[in-house]
Amino acid sequence: MLRKFLVFIVFVLTINCQNKQNKQGAIEDFIPNDAQVVMHINSLDVFKSALKNNELLSKTKFKAIFENNLTPIDSLKISGPLLLCISENSKYTFISQQKHIGSKELLKQNSIRDSIWVLSTSNSKSAPLKNTNTHPYKKFAKLTEPNATFSVYLAKPEQYGKEFSLFNNVLLDVKATPKYISLSGIYTDSNSKWNHLFENIIPKTQQLSNIVPDDIENFETFIYSDFQQFSKNLKALDSTLVFSELSKTILETSQEIGSIKTSHGSAILLHSIDISTSKETLVGYKEQLQSFRSVPIYKFENDSIFNQNFEGLLPKLNISNYTVIDEFLIFSENETLTEEIISKHINKNNLNNSKSFQNTQQKLSDDISYQKILTPENLAKILNPIFGISFSGTDLKAYKNSMVQVIRDDEVVHLNAQIEHFRPTQKQKKINEIFSITLDAALLSDVQLVKNHKTQQKDIVVQDIENQLYLISNQGVVRWKKKLSGPIVGRINQVDLYKNGRFQMVFSTENRVYVLDRLGEDVGPFPLKFKDKITQAVSVFDYDKNKNYRFLVTQGKSLLMYDGKGKRVKGFSYAPDSEILNAPQHIRYNGKDYIVFAADNDLKILNRRGKIRIDVKESINFSDQNIYFYNNKFSTIDTEGELVQVDIKGRVSKQTLGFDAQTNLTCSSRTLVAQWANQLQIKSNKTILDFGNYLPPQLFYLNDKIYIALTDQQAQKVTLFDSKATVLSGFPIYGISKIDLSYDDKDSALELICQSNDSEFIMYEIY
């Protein structure tokens, strides 16, 4: 009897276990049908950590959602997967398995069915739970990534019309670290526009970032392996589209089309796979509006090829011009934007050279169908509705160049995004074109920076062929211009004649020595007028650094010295004997003053009174290079390319360093720079250059650093080197003349100016 009773008990227990097993539900069965967002949290501990440590997630309302509806999140104990469902009007539903709920307060019988715990803000606690089992998320639940911080399903229906929405009917796995959020997933609607748009199109690597400026406000691009197929897909989505013969001819030679927006306007960009054919197609549009940086800009008013064929993909623009750069076609709203794109390209300030863009791009796919840069403003518009954030673009400025991609591969449409807080490990060298100024006539002199004692910054001074002298602020504002008697000889010097911290400019023309104040007014008895021609730039000496200036005027063989009041210095007398070849220089060494210049084949080294201080008995075949005081010796190059040096006892030495007769030389006290043919030597460091037409190198010593500037007029490029002959980041840049270089006292940026065409100069800032 006992044995039969035990068998009965076992049978009853087995039936009960089977009934309990049959009643075990799945958490996906209880998702409300009206839920538009479903979050699948794999591990609540991982999720809580992300909320604390990720800068973006920490500012969402997720923590408040949990704490307002459950318990303080730090004390919340749920050991297994958790669903958070968000319906319209901010109705929240939390779903997990009963066995994973570690809080007795949350475990209430009327919130449990089939071993599934559900807490909903949309139902009263006594309302019976419904097993809906019909929400579309259930079909994709098994596709979520177990190691993701959380997965999110956005069930918002796609808006009908011509717009392509990125975050509708998509399942995304979200991985969050303290510095970034990665999104990867798929579109769950096989009938989505993205699926139809890229049907039978092979993903490829986008190329337009090679031409897109690095400071765009918006950039999106569509990549296609076959434009004919791409156009068929477009027509299938919109039967009203009609591609003209011109548009088909242009677009059939392309594999990518995109749009950009900058502060200057918007443009359409094309990447051509046959640029010669593309140019031939545009042969009927050859009315040149202008040439900018030697790149022609043409008139183009047939914007229907974009507006009628890409509605919903590209913005509607009133195209006015186009240009061609390498294998890229740029169709722009205005010439200012076209000039900006050309300038940024020449100076390599494009997205591909941006560290933040590179940092984001390397975490995403190379072969894509569509890509969009998420500027801070774009990012705010996307994140705010998804994550319940109220960010502005300013809040997200550290997330510049976040990106989203669409990739159709094997009939599945993937979506990837990278949202990253980017701070370079070291300050990135970046070159920005601040402005360009076109003068009333062609430039006559090199552009030069001068001190402005009022602003404690730099102004710009330049002369045009009409002999107008301009003073221009470093913001591009013309302060004044003044008509001079003729071309300025040499460079402009600055002095403080009144010893009060206010600077004047000193320079000479062929028959005048000018001293101008900050407003361009003549100072005192100046200008001094001369009947005989001034043949070298006026030399300005301040022997004892006490602002008792001396102005030395060269006239053929003669030297005349004047003081700061414009009077002849009677104590100076030089006996002329041969033509003076370069402007005299003052060198102070071991407490003695030396006035140095070349005259015929003689190196003249005078004292303050104009008498010979050092008798150099050996003649020198001077080239057209200046005299420098290098390694405590008076140094130059002769007509054979040999380095000639004279010590303070007048002894001459020569060295053959491999220079040729056409070598250009510049020196500081410890640094020698030589350029000849396609070679550049800085100290003992040599580098091979492209063959070109080089101006003499320039040496700048600023903030204890040496900078060497070299301009190739043939290639129209300016390159800046350090003392090791290494090209600085961001160079070369566009320019056709010698440069001037200085530090901006306001923000410690380097300011660089140079000529850009006959009547224009550019100002750059280097950070």
Would you call 680 helix, strand, or coil by DSSP? strand
Contacts of 198 (CB under 8 A, 6+ apart): 224, 230, 233, 369, 370, 406, 408, 413
Span 312-341, pLDDT tens digits: 788 888 999 999 999 999 999 999 999 999
Q: What is the pLDDT of residue 648?
A: 94
If phi over 0 gives left and psi between -120 and 50 gives alpha, with beta otherwise, what is residue 87?
beta
Q: What is the pLDDT of residue 15?
A: 40
Q: Which two tokens stand for residue 141?
A: 């639940």
The amino acid at residue 386 is I
Among 54, 49, 31, 52, smallest CA distance to 383 is for 54
Sheet-wide strand order for 739-743:
431-438, 760-766, 750-757, 739-743
Helices (H), 649-765: none
- Residue 187 CA to residue 408 CA, distance in Å, equals 10
The residue ranges of DSSP E strands in 421-517, in sequence order, are 431-438, 448-452, 457-463, 468-473, 478-483, 489-495, 504-508, 512-516
DSSP structure string for 555-591: ETTEEEEEETTS-B-TT------S-B-S--EEEEETT
Q: What is the pLDDT of residue 365?
A: 93
Q: What is the pLDDT of residue 5?
A: 40
- Residue 418 CA to residue 366 CA, distance in Å, equals 13
Q: What is the pLDDT of residue 16?
A: 45
Residue the block writes with tokens 């954030």: 389
Q: Is the pLDDT of residue 161 over 50?
A: no
Would you mind telling me the total number of residues written for the chain in this entry? Answer: 767
Q: Is the pLDDT of residue 111 over 80?
A: no
Q: Is the pLDDT of residue 3 over 70?
A: no
Question: Which residues, in sequence order, are bridge partners of residue 94?
Answer: 84, 119
Span 176-216, pLDDT tens digits: 887 788 999 999 888 888 899 999 999 999 999 999 998 88
Instruction: Please report which confidence band the pLDDT of residue 132 belongs to, taking 50, 70 and 90 as the band edges.
Output: low
Q: Are strands 295-299 and 321-325 parallel, antiparallel or unpaired?
A: antiparallel
Q: What is the pLDDT of residue 248?
A: 83
Q: What is the pLDDT of residue 425?
A: 47
Between 749 and 665, residue with greater pLDDT:
665
Contact in structure between 536 and 583 (CB atoms under 8 Å): yes
DSSP structure string for 48-104: HHHHHH-TTGGGSSHHHHHHHHSS-GGG--B-S-EEEEEEGGGEEEEEEEGGGB--T
Span 414-443, pLDDT tens digits: 999 998 876 654 455 678 888 888 898 999
**% of residues, the chain, pLDDT over 90:** 59
Q: What is the pLDDT of residue 109?
A: 55
Instruction: Please report which confidence band the pLDDT of residue 24 belongs to, taking 50, 70 and 90 as the band edges.
Output: low
Lowest mean pLDDT among 472-476, 596-600, 609-613: 472-476
Span 447-470, pLDDT tens digits: 999 999 988 889 999 999 999 999
Give the H or E element holding residue 196: helix 193-197
Average pLDDT of 29-50? Answer: 89
Among 483, 473, 536, 492, smallest CA distance to 510 is for 536
Q: Is the pLDDT of residue 124 over 60?
A: no
Q: What is the pLDDT of residue 423?
A: 61
* Per-chain mean pLDDT for the chain: 88
Q: What is the pLDDT of residue 428?
A: 53
Q: What is the pLDDT of residue 14?
A: 43
**% of residues, the chain, pLDDT over 70:** 92
Average pLDDT of 327-356? Answer: 91
Contact in structure between 422 and 399 (CB atoms under 8 Å): yes
* First-to-last C-alpha distance (Å) of the chain: 96
Span 66-88, pLDDT tens digits: 998 888 888 888 999 999 998 87
Contact in structure between 350 and 210 (CB atoms under 8 Å): yes
pTM across the whole model: 0.74
Q: Which two tokens stand for residue 659?
A: 């220079």
